[in-house]
Amino acid sequence: MTAIQAWFEECRSGAASLHKDCQPAPCTPPRLISVGLGGTTPRLVQPSPGERVEYTALSYCWGSNPPIRTMKSTLPVFSDELALDQLPKTFTDAIQITRALGIPYIWIDALCIVQDDSEEWQAVAAKMDSVYLGSQLTIAAAQTANSFYGCLNSDPLLDGVHHHEDDMFFRTPSLPGTDEQLLVRVYTADPRSRIQKTPLGDRGWTLQEHLLSHRTAFCMRPEVYWGCQASYQSQCGLHLTSDEIARGETTLPLMRGSNTATPLTSSDWHRVCAMYSRRDLTFPRDRIPAIAGITRYFAERMERRPIVGLWEETFSRDLAWVRASRHIMPKFSSLTDSVPSWSWLACPSSVYYPLDLDSAGGRVEHVKLVEWDVKWEVRVV
């Protein structure tokens, strides 16, 4: 937790220079959890319209049986009190981190959205990108498949906790004249790509949570990682600048702020498509809503119009996706009934774009989309 505090203060205090693009966008979700900075018990609150508040957001795996959710029947109770001893450890750890940062509120989807109110769920889901764009910090409980194991566990023997067993650790001989030794860690892979190999990195909804957050603390084993628009750091001393992050081939594309000189490109979008297509969703119907926030972000930055996972301005190039695996995700096979077959979103397998057409020098467009129309039918299930 000390490392998260130090990184957060470094990022926030450097707003005028290096970290100018790390500042969250203005957003106040309709419901938040007051963490009780003054020693009070946490509870659900509804900020006044137009009120500007600071909050963190939690990114985590629900698991097959979420232990606690806000329902119409429990909303009055949770508005009075959210007893910490009744919350799963991931929630309480996130609340403790938020308190340590001096931030008064946190957003947790299971509690801040009334789960049996379909109208509220749809309204918040449509603006989920704003929630994470506006968060002071997203706390990612990356290595557990449910909410029971917490964000900051220190026991590597806990069942259900995913960690990288291939990493090598060794101690150096004692330094001359002292009993001090150095603990050396050898990474067996690019540490920036590790979030993709965790339970959280396998979930469809969490991709936009990570891409759109200006600051994220990835709570992983055996250390915590920090990612913002200006740097990527680890407790072991890894420190990469924004230029080094952008050059990483195995990392998520950097969500560059609107004031930076390097725009988002079709290649960035194609990388997002490839990563998203590998991820799972509990409900196949969420495949388009779960990427809607990222789509809106790219549409604003690239000034393009989206068409079911492709773009009007680059439609012919965006059709050049290829199925990447023989493995079929059966639950997504039904999407061909509602999603056009030419869209990669209809493919029940992972996809990729083999050609980097952005880097092709002297490219000439030979195809132009003259007219198109997409109609959606809303079905209540």
Please give the C-alpha separations between residue 67 and each of 90, 124, 282, in angstroms, as whole numbers.
11, 21, 17
pLDDT at 190: 67
CA angle 40, 43, 45 (to 5 degrees): 115
Q: In the numeric block, which tokens belong to residue 246?
A: 């952008």
Q: Which of 8-22, 62-76, 280-294 has the lowest mean pLDDT?
A: 8-22
Residue 87 CB partners (closer than 8 Å, separation 6+): 68, 95
> HSE-up of 278 (CA within 13 Å, CB side)?
16
Return the closest-CA partner of residue 229 out of 2, 1, 6, 15. Answer: 15
* CA proximity to 256, closest of 230, 238, 275, 276: 230
Asked whether the predicted pLDDT for residue 84 surpasses 80, the reply is yes
Residue of higher predicted confidence among 334 and 265:
265
Mean pLDDT in residue range 160-175: 62
Asked whether 276 and 343 are in contact (CB, 8 A), the reply is: no
* Separation CA 2–CA 8 (nearest Å): 10
Q: What is the pLDDT of residue 125?
A: 84
- In the prediction, which pLDDT does 377 show? 63
Q: What are phi and psi of 96, to 5 degrees?
A: -65, -40
State whether the Cα torsion 274-162-190-255 is positive or negative: positive
User: Distance (Å, rounded) from C-alpha 229 to C-alpha 256?
Assistant: 7
Do residues 59 and 139 touch, judged by C-beta distance below 8 A? Answer: yes
**Residue pLDDT, tens place only, 337-373:** 788 899 999 999 999 999 876 655 556 667 888 888 8
**What backbone torsions phi and psi does residue 95 show, to the nearest 5 degrees?**
-65, -40
Nearest in space to 344 (alpha carbons), one of 292, 296, 288, 293: 288
Three-state secondary structure call for residue 69: coil
The residues, any chain, with a CB within 8 Å of residue 143's CB and separated by 6 or more, are: 161, 162, 163, 198, 199, 200, 219, 220, 221
**Residue-level pLDDT at 80:** 96
> To which H or E segment does residue 99 belong?
helix 89-100
Question: What b/e sequence results for 250-285 when a residue is b if at least 16 CB atoms lie within 10 Å of its CB, and e otherwise?
Answer: ebbbbbbbeeeeeebbbebbbbbbbbbbbbebeebe
pLDDT (0 to 100) of residue 259: 45
Q: What are residue 328's phi and psi, to 5 degrees?
A: -105, 135
pLDDT digits (tens, 9 = 90+) for 296-323: 989 988 899 999 999 998 998 899 999 9
CA 218/CA 198 separation, integer angstroms:
11
Which of 307, 303, 350, 362 minimizes the C-alpha distance to 325?
A: 350
Determine what percent of the chain is predicted with pLDDT higher than 90. Answer: 39
In the numeric block, the tokens 């959280």 are attached to 200
- Distance from the first to the final alpha carbon of the chain: 43
- Residue 242: band (very low, low, confident or very high) from pLDDT cuts 50, 70, 90: low
